[in-house]
Chains A and B, each alone.
Chain A
Amino acid sequence: MLTVSNLSSGYGKLKVLYDLSIDVPEKELTVVVGPNGAGKTTLLCSIMNIANVFSGEILLQDSSIKGIPTHNLAQKGISYVPQMGNVFAELTVMDNLHMAGYMLSKSEAKDKAEQMTEIFPVLKKFIHRLAGTLSGGERRMLAIAMGLMKNPKLMLLDELSTDLAPIIAERVMMEVARMRDELGITILMVEQMAKRALEIGDTAYLLVSGEVKYSGDASALLHEPELCSMYLGIKHSSDKGKEFELSVMDEGSEDN
């Protein structure tokens, strides 16, 4: 579905990603993990033409999308849920959904918004509230719903679970798995909750300092003790009977 090859990109003249190649197969959940500042967000921004692409190629279903203005990528079926500021805090939930479906016709957008409030009942309850007044978990649900408004072929998700209570984060992860399994959406997901993401993901890339350190089966990465402890803060317990322990890496706070 999406192929990124030999991508070098960054901001202004600053280079963040070096000669990076990844492949996102159709109807699969591809996970990108890695320490803070590795360039995970930059990868998604490069695909969306928000960051500066210096060289390399980005193909969506075998046609190049490099250099296409951000606002035209939504029409191509790509839906991007940013890490920060992924809802319009000063608009109502309803207006958020309608803006997310900006390129749909009026009746299409209305039907789709209706559908979203059925999938996420919490949105129906707060449909006329400003998104800024929602709780962290509710906002993340809204962000996902906004992503789905576009009838996407491909979703780019950036750290959806960060800063959520563990139980809510788990719900968000299940929601992501459900989008792949039930809606057949291709997903490229960046995650801080590495262990859980690698469990539900199909393919994984470990990104460190702008370069790919591991690529392959997602759950297999969990069996690479060195990579896991060095870059993901996942420590293998010495006791073989025990499950892996997860220690969350330091992470600066974001929008609440």
Chain B
Amino acid sequence: MAPWLSSGLVYASGLALTAGSVTLLYIVTRTFNFAVASMATIGFYTVYTGVTLFGGLPYQYYPFAFIVGSITGFICYYGLNRPLLRRQAIETTLMMSTLGYDLILLSMIQMYADFLTHTYKIFPRRVTMSLFDFELFGDRAAAFILPVIAIGFLTILHIFLTKTKFGVAMRATIENPILAGASGINSDRVYLVSWIIGGGMAALGGSFMAMAMTGTPVMGMYTIPLMFAGAILGGLGSIYGGILGGLVIGLTEYAGVFLLSQQFGPWVLGYRMGIPLFIMAATLLVFPRGLSGIPLLKIIKNFAEQKRGARA
């Protein structure tokens, strides 16, 4: 694999999960979750703590990253989001509250980094996680493993949302909260579960991204524009759209940097974040409703629907 492609796949798999997290929380609770930034960083530090203190491969600590992220989501829901939703807060208030939460999480990350330095004499402020990776087919293993984990996670999420009673109830609540409530579905539980899943996805995404970039206490803050770009590119309408958006943003960044720096020289690197943001803007100009608004997807969906209808 070309180096830009293997790094790009690693990075894009992580960005896809964070963009999916942003989208999920937006469509369920109308909240743009800025805390996705520190949730992602926390995912990275969970894995980092595992490999430095207990050894082994980064991959075996991913479940812990997900759980720690879920806990931050759980706290955000009960501490902030739920009280505000109950007071029928407007979207801006919901959004700004998560910014506050992000700053709290960020200071806790800084304190934790200091704690690691003082107690274990390790230096967690600039970490190259790929050093802990191994080689597979002559390439970094992460380039194969992370996309597979991401796809596996998505498959489980999809099965959860379409085949389980609670998952279908989540989709019902997303589409029509009043009818869902009248049907006996407790929206409170739906919101809680989406914060748990959303927090976990953000942390998992962050721990993926750290395999392609330098892990720092502000890595989430640095990449949050792209997480939101992915969600917006996806159209903010479906979780799958958000995930696809994150994937596209991540891959175009790496592909764009590679192609443009070959053409124009390495100074392009300084503008690397501009490339995916430009792609997003251009796509939205043509398809204002984002990737999930592209008729092509609809055509495929309709086609599948017709086939399903004909079979029934």
Contact = CB atoms under 8 A, between A and B. Distances in A.
Interface of A: 12, 48, 50, 69-75, 79-80, 82, 85-91, 95, 98-103, 106, 125-130, 133, 146, 150
B300 interface: no
A99 B312 contact: no
Nearest to A109: B165
A91 B168 CA distance: 8
User: Which of under 10, 10 to 19, 20 to 34, or 35 or more describes the interface residues of B?
Assistant: 20 to 34
B220 to A, nearest CB: 32
Q: Is the interface of B mostly helix, strand, loop or mixed?
A: helix
27 contacts: A48-B181, A69-B181, A70-B178, A71-B182, A82-B178, A85-B176, A85-B178, A88-B176, A90-B175, A98-B165, A99-B168, A99-B169, A100-B183, A102-B169, A103-B184, A106-B165, A126-B309, A126-B312, A127-B312, A128-B308, A128-B311, A128-B312, A129-B305, A129-B312, A133-B305, A146-B183, A150-B183
Contacts of A103: 184
Which of A99, A103, A126, A150 has the largest count of B CB atoms less than 10 A from its CB?
A: A99
B187 interface: yes
A80 B181 CA distance: 10
Nearest to A89: B175
A129 B183 contact: no
B180 A99 contact: yes
Interface string B155-196: 000000000010011011001101111111111000000000
A105 to B, nearest CB: 11
Given A128-B308, A129-B312, A91 B182 contact: no
Given A98-B165, A98-B168, A74 B175 contact: no
A113 B73 CA distance: 36
4 smallest A-B Cβ distances: which pairs?
A74-B184, A70-B181, A103-B184, A102-B184
Contact of A102 (B88, B171, B183, B311): B183
Contacts of A50: 178, 181
Contacts, number: 83
Given A128-B312, A129-B312, A99 B172 contact: yes
Nearest to A99: B172
A98 B169 CA distance: 9
Interface of B: 88, 165, 168-169, 171-172, 175-176, 178-187, 305, 308-309, 311-312
Contacts of A82: 178-179, 182
Given A71-B185, A85-B176, 10 more contacts: A48-B182, A69-B181, A88-B180, A99-B168, A102-B169, A103-B184, A126-B312, A128-B308, A133-B305, A150-B183
A73 B182 contact: yes
B185 A85 contact: no
A70 B168 CA distance: 19
